[in-house]
Amino acid sequence: MWKLKIAEGGPWLTSGNNHVGRETWEFDQNDTGSSEERDAVDASRAEFQKNRFRTRHSSDVLARMQLAKGNKFSLDQQQKPKDDETSGDINIATVSETLRRALRYFSAVQAHDGHWPGDFPGPLFTTATMIIVLYVTESLGTTLSSEHRKEICRYLYNRQNMDGGWGLHAEGESSMLSSALNYTALRLLGEGADDGPDMSMPKARKWIHDHGGATMIPILGKVWLSVLRVFEWSGVNPMPPELFLLPSFVPIQPGRLWSHFRMAFIPMSYLYGKKFVGPITKLVLSLREELHIHPYKKINWKQARKLCAKEDAYHPHTWLQECLSDCLYSFGEPFLACWPVSYMRRKALRQIADFLKYEDDISRYICIGAAQKALSMLCCWSENPNSDAFKHHLARVADFLWLGEDGMKVRVCAGQSWDVAFAVQAILAGDVAEEFGSTLKKAHHFIKASQIVDNPSGDFARKYRHISKGGWAFQVADQGWQVSDCTAEALKLCYCSQSFRQISWVIRWKHAASMMQ
């Protein structure tokens, strides 16, 4: 039976607040659950699979069942609205009772540390990129159990569109990026080329071939397939790591990029600079045949670097971009590879490795998001496969895995602090806060424990970071990335909670005074 673990640590993990907000799923072979629980889980999975093209998003049924059970709450005890109720029956009393019913349920799915666990799926390719990293680093079998792999396959099949491809997100039309990467992930997880419900794998392969094959994948996919050796680095537009050596006032210095893009581009440029590739296996050789419409050895990689499926081309390249890429490809890369100029690349790679290690350390290996973590983890392994840093990285993979009735996916991140801030503000605005004091108290404790108490270590300004002490992250404090609007909403919650406590004392004092009269 799957168990949702809240605020629990483990080997190779560190925390500044006893792991408050951490969510992980573990499969307990010794606890099979009751027959009613198993039936409810199976029914929710079957219902989602049946209606997956109509209802795209899961409802976190598995998590809510466990949380409600832990809080001794049963939906059978919940008073149901009358079936014959009409609009004329709606008044202040009925609205208030409906609000109370909703908040009783909402309180029942609150975790013991004060937050509300839930899904945060994001792009459909993040699961695939993590699978590729674990396969290349030979960590797939040790990090993901057979039950994990089974649920991830369930998720990928459930998210497949009717035409055989996968969209950029759950409601998106099929794209080459998600289709090629998710097909690859399923094969790495052990699925055969002709496996899957309703011939899912052949349908996916047909979609990929009908749209030009994997050479039409955009640059992010080209990088990941190159790492896996199903693509060639010579088919990727240049991402010179030497840009990292430029002074910070230069506009094209990667440190000036938006944080999420910065933490993706810099490790990608590191992998490009090293031309890092994983091992050749029989499966990799098979994928070369399955993903491409031409024999692998006959593909024109110089031409392939400019190809992109129309489904993935949101904005065509300008002539200036094409000219710059051609110059870097034809003249820049050969020049930078020559001695003594090649020293610059080695220096840039060393500086990027130090930069990524710094980011890993101060984020406790959670990183800013799942896509960036996968890249940083691969860079870490390429530096030293047996390092303690890589073991710290592996221990944090579980933080990104989320299980629903649709299967298990790699979340972009989680939004614990963000969700709690708005949840508490909504409860306080409902004029029923006195009845849910325990819920508010736990939420307030979570927000207090989730405040970031330190700035990034060392000379953080040189690492393109800002002060974070006193702020709040989007997810947990251990991650350390402060966000302005998350800080504002959490601070508002603290002020509201303070006002609520003052009002509560006045109400209790008035109640006591009336009893004495």
Which tokens hold the place of 367?
């990183």
pLDDT for 432: 84
**Angle at alpha carbon of residue 480, lines to 477 and 483, rounded to 5°:** 95
Handedness of CA 499, 504, 510, 513 (dihedral sign): negative
Per-residue confidence (pLDDT) for residue 350, from 0 to 100: 97
pLDDT digits (tens, 9 = 90+) for 414-439: 899 999 999 998 998 888 888 898 99
Exposure of 49 by Cβ count < 10 A (0-12 exposed, 13-18 middle, 19+ buried)? middle
DSSP 396: T
* pLDDT for 499: 62
Closest by CA position to 260, among listed 115, 456, 167, 126: 126
Residue 485 bears catalytic tag: yes
Which of 239, 324, 325 shows the shortest CA–CA distance to 276? 239
3-state secondary structure 310-356: CCCCCCCCCHHHHHHHHHHHHHHHHHHCCCCCHHHHHHHHHHHHHHH
The phi and psi torsions of 451 (rounded to 5 degrees) equal -70, 135
Residue 244 is classified by DSSP as G
pTM: 0.93
Burial of residue 325 (CB within 10 Å: 0-12, 13-18, 19+) is middle
**Judging by DSSP bridges, how do beta strands 407-410 and 23-27 pair with one another?**
unpaired
pLDDT given for residue 241 in this prediction:
97
All structural domains of the chain? 2-79+91-118+414-516 (no CATH), 126-406 (1.50.10.20)
Which sign, positive or negative, has the C-alpha torsion 93, 94, 96, 97? positive
- Measured in whole angstroms, the distance separating CA 86 from the mean position of its chain's CA atoms is 43
Residues in the chain where the model's pLDDT stays below 70:
75-88, 497-517
Look at the alpha carbons of 168, 172, 176, 182 in this order and tell me if their dihedral is positive or negative. Answer: positive
Map residue 510 onto helix, strand or coil. Answer: helix
What amino acid occupies position 351?
Q
Q: Is the peptide bond before 340 cis (omega within 30 degrees of 0)?
A: yes
Give the active site residue among 194, 210, 454, 485. Answer: 485
Could you tell me which of 233, 241, 339, 240 has the C-alpha nearest to residue 276? Answer: 233
Would you tell me how many other CB atoms lie within 10 Å of the CB of residue 13? 17
φ/ψ region of 127 (left if φ > 0, alpha if ψ in -120 to 50, else beta) reads alpha
Rounded to 10 degrees, the C-alpha dihedral 190/170/394/471 comes to: 180
Under 8 Å CB-to-CB from 294, ≥6 apart: which residues?
213, 215
Beta bridge partners of 482: 473
- Rounded CA-CA distance 56/264 in Å is 28
